[in-house]
Structure 1
């Protein structure tokens, strides 16, 4: 297209929209070129739009067949644009028919296909995306939130968690902070079993979240900076993440009741439990300070949260 035939303003906008609606470039150029004229010959359309003259009549005939243009004279052939309002109304009606047909076909295929659907998993590679996904799920929670995460991430999510509590959502947290956190309406279990012990992997940050047993997010930054994680509504993934959080909560409740005995048996931070992992991850020697008194974990009557 030359400078004389270049589209500008509303004509360019209409041209771009027609491409999105399934017009070819030549069809869109010819139709936009016809708008506002009393009628143009093929030569006139080619001159106004930059469509090559050998292609212009073929393109105009397609537009006539689609009802987008009309031939208003025969010798020479003269073409005019169908009113844009009518064209767009016809396109909308055609789109609705196609959409309904596709939806019905997809529904039929879904019912006829006995194979299991593919697992839907969304991956994350930045902390911002992990936090955005977690925040979005919490803000949409209706019944229950399970969350285990490192202190900085918990601090960032507290406003969304408080809003969830205000909506009547049951919020269950596993808190890795140094001091016991208190939040109105939340059931908080402090991860006290690693007090007074240093592990190489303590630089890691993590987030594990389950909302309404419908969606889960699990993510980790092993080096404290580089995040990797996934979000999924798959039942098996949800069960695994929720089971991990609940198991950790159970351990902290046992530690609250039997901390001194467990420390005597397994050492500060219960590090002796990790001996089976020694070939791939060895704990640094624990600090020599006396172990802290176990922190009593608050829990409701009836025991473990559902």
Structure 2
């Protein structure tokens, strides 16, 4: 990625964090200058000079820019570490406000009868990992997890798995001995095994095949299955809860292939 692409990416990320385009461009422009006037900043960023002043005022109000009231005025960005910490605090505060606001929203039931079995689709690695962590954290009896892609065994997931209560059986399947060794080292309380599902193994799959990401069954009632899409490497998943006993039994037996019966606490 060249310098211009890095600058454009920085502008895009700042907009995602809540800055308007001219504000983002002015902040990125000032990050390239020790200090600058409105004229210099306009020439650097191609932001109209008349719009630079309003953008700078907004950036100053957010603690991202300092102003020297000379003639002409000089502007400079605060140090990068300080700016990123300020933006992080603002972002987290917005998330907390959103949570507090939505938590008080009254749920309207369109139908008094809820289906016993529900299956939903999800997209995005962060969202799927959050759902995985939530399900693991809520387990009261048993967790069966098969990791189909080593990149999905993140530090957050490892921390969540290590936080599982003593009364919960934790069974984790891996594709390779190397991954199994890593799981045994990082999650020592888990019973690990090499998955017997041959179609999970990347080396046996064609380049354009969709690869399984993770398989998770919690308390024999909640099932999450994800896949890694070829090309984009985007993770997609289906999630079901309140599933029928027959489906759960089949899913568990498939997922536990490779786990010796004598070591399986639920067989």
- Sort the TM-score into its range (normalised by shorter chain): 0.3 to 0.5
Give me the TM-score of the superposition, normalised by structure 1. 0.41
Relative contact order, higher structure (CA 8 A, sep 6+): 2
Q: Larger Cα Rg: Structure 1 or Structure 2? A: 1
Give me the TM-score of the superposition, normalised by structure 2. 0.45
